């Protein structure tokens, strides 16, 4: 682990000094502040109101250990164990993908669809449960199921279900839609692994710390979507929707995959960076 102290540094005596050193080391004020909040068990408004306070050795050591983890590259969300998604906090650890802002678009599109009041909804590859639990929280009458192949990830989803008091959300272990072969849904959503397994980004930055099974989707990144499209077609009611998130350059391939599977009313939606990120299609 990298040291956060420099031989010329004097140990910080106050929170302000510790923050200033962490901000300099990390080159990121917000990250330093978030780590300080985590070490102190306080929020940011407390931090700014008390930055002249003295810092005890235990808290300083805790803060510096967190800064050292970040300097090693561990994502902030994993260090703090939390990430906000669609206005709610989700627990995360090294077994789940850290919820991304682009996935909030998938949630928004899902919420904008015309569906039965008591829509049956399935989230395939639920990970932390961020999509399934958000849809259930936003639409209390929907009956939401999340499916996940990784038992460790499913445990995180289950903890989040408890945290958000959403016991009615069903969480099932298994591959794609195999656990629900005898059921039909009005909406199937998925943010599947879609990075090509040879993509060098998988070995860089924060991605190194996230589960490869949540990221890599075979040689061209489309392996899971290729299996999911026909499986979802079989499990959808007539008029039901399949909605998937995909990579920045995969929209045309995903639309074609949907078309050849039999989906109609196919379209893709742009994220905030004006990149086609979400593709949806309807079972006729």
Ligand X SMILES: C[S@@+](CC[C@H](N)C(=O)[O-])C[C@H]1O[C@@H](n2cnc3c(N)ncnc32)[C@H](O)[C@@H]1O
Q: Return residues touching ligand X (CB under 6 A).
A: 96-97, 99, 103, 124-128, 130-131, 147-150, 153, 175-176, 191-193, 213-214, 224
Strand ordering across the sheet containing 264-270: 170-173, 143-148, 120-124, 185-190, 236-245, 276-282, 264-270
Closest approach of ligand X to the CB of residue 130, in Å: 5
Q: Are 126 and 146 in contact (CB under 8 A)?
A: yes
Q: Are 145 and 117 in contact (CB under 8 A)?
A: no
Partner residues linked to 216 by β-bridges: 195
**Alpha helix locations (H) across the chain?**
15-26, 29-40, 44-49, 57-71, 76-80, 101-112, 130-138, 151-163, 212-215, 223-235, 251-261
Closest approach of ligand X to the CB of residue 258, in Å: 18
The two tokens of residue 127 are: 């990970």
Looking up tokens 């008390």 gives: 50
Closest approach of ligand X to the CB of residue 182, in Å: 18
Closest approach of ligand X to the CB of residue 263, in Å: 20
- Please identify, using beta-carbon distances, which residue of 37 and 105 lies nearer to ligand X: 105
Closest approach of ligand X to the CB of residue 165, in Å: 20
- Please identify, using beta-carbon distances, which residue of 61 and 181 lies nearer to ligand X: 181
What is d(CA 68, CA 80) in angstroms, rounded to the nearest whole number? 13
CA 55 to chain centroid, in Å, comes to 34
Closest approach of ligand X to the CB of residue 72, in Å: 23
- Please identify, using beta-carbon distances, which residue of 4 and 150 lies nearer to ligand X: 150
Closest approach of ligand X to the CB of residue 154, in Å: 9
- Please identify, using beta-carbon distances, which residue of 96 and 144 lies nearer to ligand X: 96
- Please identify, using beta-carbon distances, which residue of 79 and 231 lies nearer to ligand X: 231
Angle at CA 115, nearest 5°, toward 110 and 121?
60
How far lies 259's CA from each of 141, 182, 226, 276, 280, in Å? Answer: 31, 25, 12, 17, 11
Q: Are 74 and 209 in contact (CB under 8 A)?
A: yes
- Please identify, using beta-carbon distances, which residue of 125 and 240 lies nearer to ligand X: 125
- Please identify, using beta-carbon distances, which residue of 117 and 182 lies nearer to ligand X: 182
């Amino acid at each position: 682990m990298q040291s956060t102290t420099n031989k010329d540094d004097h140990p910080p005596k106050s929170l302000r000094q510790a923050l200033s050193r962490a901000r300099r080391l990390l080159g990121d004020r917000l990250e330093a502040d978030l780590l300080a909040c985590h070490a102190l068990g306080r929020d940011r408004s407390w931090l700014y109101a008390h930055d002249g306070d003295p810092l005890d050795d235990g808290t300083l050591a805790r803060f510096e250990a967190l800064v050292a983890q970040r300097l090693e590259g561990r994502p902030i969300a994993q260090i703090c164990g939390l990430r906000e998604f669609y206005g709610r906090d989700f627990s995360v650890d090294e077994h789940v993908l850290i919820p991304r802002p682009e996935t909030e678009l998938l949630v928004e599109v899902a919420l904008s669809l015309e569906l039965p009041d008591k829509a049956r909804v399935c989230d395939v590859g639920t990970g932390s449960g961020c999509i399934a639990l958000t849809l259930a929280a936003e639409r209390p009458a929907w009956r939401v199921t999340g499916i996940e192949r990784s038992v460790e990830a499913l445990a995180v989803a289950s903890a989040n279900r408890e945290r958000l008091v959403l016991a009615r959300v069903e969480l099932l272990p298994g591959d794609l839609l195999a656990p629900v072969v005898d059921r039909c849904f009005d909406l199937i959503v998925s943010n599947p692994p879609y990075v090509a397994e040879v993509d060098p980004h998988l070995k860089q930055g924060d991605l190194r710390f996230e589960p490869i099974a949540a990221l890599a989707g075979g040689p061209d990144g489309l392996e899971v979507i290729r299996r999911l499209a026909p499986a979802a077609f079989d499990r959808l009611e007539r008029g039901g929707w399949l909605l998937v998130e995909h990579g920045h350059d995969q929209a045309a391939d995903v639309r074609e995959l949907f078309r050849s599977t039999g989906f109609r009313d196919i379209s893709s939606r742009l994220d905030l960076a004006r990149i086609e990120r979400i593709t949806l299609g309807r079972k006729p």
